[in-house]
Structure 1
């Protein structure tokens, strides 16, 4: 006769492990800064940066250029309430991404558009300026 050992607490232990992991994941998504994913494409006329910012109103997004550094920053506000949440995987909180701009960018004509959760920045190139200066001798 084979004896079968039963651990009545095995399922309960497994349940609590799942709950502990879920709480740790949820807490991590609140406490970490996060960075939106971006695509950067270059053409002859411009650079285009597309950033995934789903669920963030354009009023909560800042785009700044300072000393040839383009910075995207903002905040995704938490939607977690006192209701029973089964899974929280999206990141919440502040974000910031910075990019060094090439000298050829026309900073005065950068355009930004937010549509369907994608922020699109168009950074036009300016015509190369002549660096050689001729001095006339009198």
Structure 2
């Protein structure tokens, strides 16, 4: 018996329906590269200095998570949440926590410093910081009016 949550593409209450949406330039995960997707929630905040993404990854260790920057400014957060197997004489009564591989992809806007991406994991939350290029202040030159 499979305990994997499934949804239907035409069911608006299904997580799969909303996961396939593409709001704000978020690139959909590639199913062929990541056949089992867990429900990874990500917050993306823009500050004057950086883009900060926070992903809830409970039960995922630092070694099981991966952050990559692909060509074209695509940030990829991926990894695997291990499935806990019952021991000798044990049996599951209820399984609601997901396990398996996950992947989320985000197209970063222009001006993101892709060479300075930083990531940290604390208390099951992965924080990825992508600094922004400094905004160039317009140079103002006073021109003397002759005549």
TM-score (normalised: structure 2): 0.65
Could you tell me which residue of structure 1 aligns to residue 121 of structure 2? 114
Unpaired stretches in structure 1, ≥5 consecutive residues: 1-22, 131-138
Residue 45 of structure 2, aligned match among 30, 35, 41: 41
How far the C-alpha of 1:32 sits from its partner, in A, is 3.9
Deviating 4+ runs (over 3 angstroms): none
RMSD: 1.9
Compare the two structures and name the one with the higher helix fraction: 1
The answer to whether residue 109 in structure 2 is matched with residue 102 in structure 1 is yes
Could you tell me which residue of structure 2 aligns to residue 61 of structure 1? 65
Q: Distance in 2 between matches of 1:129 and 1:121?
A: 24
SS of the residue corresponding to residue 85 of structure 1 reads coil
SS of the residue corresponding to residue 63 of structure 2 reads helix
Unpaired stretches in structure 2, ≥5 consecutive residues: 6-34, 138-147
How far the C-alpha of 1:54 sits from its partner, in A, is 0.7
Q: Is the CA contact (8 Å cut-off) linking 1:110 and 1:123 kept in structure 2?
A: yes
Could you tell me which residue of structure 1 aligns to residue 93 of structure 2? 86
The answer to whether residue 69 in structure 2 is matched with residue 76 in structure 1 is no
How far the C-alpha of 1:35 sits from its partner, in A, is 3.5
TM-score (normalised: structure 1): 0.69
Q: Is the CA contact (8 Å cut-off) linking 2:36 and 2:102 kept in structure 1?
A: no
Query: What do residues 53-100 of structure 1 show as CA deviations (whole Å, max 9, x unaligned)?
Result: 011111111100011100011100101324122111011110000000
Q: Is the CA contact (8 Å cut-off) linking 1:39 and 1:51 kept in structure 2?
A: yes
Which of these two proteins has the greater Rg computed from alpha carbons? 1
